[in-house]
């Protein structure tokens, strides 16, 4: 079992535990193969790197959902304690404030979709990977690649100053 840790945004910690059967087979296969059989070394590392990147993305989504559900549970427990202290019947359902319809409709155009922004650049399994966010989701993209976010295609590239730039793909 191999444990990798990534430091993100200074305080957020992601840990990925690599215990998948595919990873174990790749490691066992690499140990048992003779040196002459390594004709194409770029095929296996790329698939392993892709697996690791996918695992990091899945772990981030899991942790985000887990924190949200944990916060909802804590809020519900606090509401129950408040109701109990106020003497409200335990069986009454919690009152949820309904949004007031003012009658004026605001139309959101498709052009108001937020432009993705670069959060950080990191090395994952020896590959330069950039975390890109639109405010709702995070996607890991390699520089020079085209990626989809919010139904649009974007291109992540480097400027002459070695800075990262996101543009809409044509």
Handedness of CA 78, 81, 85, 91 (dihedral sign): positive
Record the tokens describing residue 51, joined without a space: 């697996």
Judged by DSSP in three states, 40 sits in: coil
pLDDT of 59 reads: 95
Rounded Cα gap, residues 56 and 53, in angstroms: 5
Instruction: Report whether 169 contacts 155 (CB < 8 A).
Output: yes
What string of pLDDT tens digits covers the 170 residues of the chain?
444 444 443 333 333 434 445 544 554 555 455 544 444 555 555 788 889 999 999 999 999 999 999 999 999 999 999 998 888 555 555 566 666 555 555 555 555 778 899 988 888 788 888 999 988 888 888 898 999 988 889 999 988 888 899 998 87
Whole-model pTM: value is: 0.40
* Domain boundaries, given as residue ranges, for the chain: 2-84, 111-168
How much is the pLDDT for 46?
Answer: 75
How is residue 134 written in tokens?
């639109």
Q: What six digits make up the tokens of 43?
A: 């095929």
């Amino acid at each position: 079992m191999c444990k990798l840790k990534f430091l993100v945004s200074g305080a957020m910690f992601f840990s990925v535990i690599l215990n998948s059967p595919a990873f174990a087979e790749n490691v066992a296969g690499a140990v048992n193969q003779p040196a002459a059989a390594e004709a194409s070394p770029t095929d296996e590392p790329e698939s392993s790197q892709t697996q690791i990147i996918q695992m990091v993305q899945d772990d981030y989504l899991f942790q985000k959902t887990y924190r949200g559900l944990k916060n909802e549970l804590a809020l519900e427990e606090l509401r129950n304690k408040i109701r109990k202290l106020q003497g409200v019947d335990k069986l009454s359902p919690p009152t949820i404030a309904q949004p007031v319809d003012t009658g004026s409709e605001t139309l959101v155009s498709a052009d108001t979709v937020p432009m993705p922004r670069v959060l950080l650049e990191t090395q994952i399994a020896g590959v330069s990977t950039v975390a890109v966010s639109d405010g709702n989701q995070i996607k890991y993209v390699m520089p020079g690649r085209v990626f989809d976010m919010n139904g649009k295609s974007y291109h992540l590239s480097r400027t002459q100053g070695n800075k990262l730039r996101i543009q809409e793909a044509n």
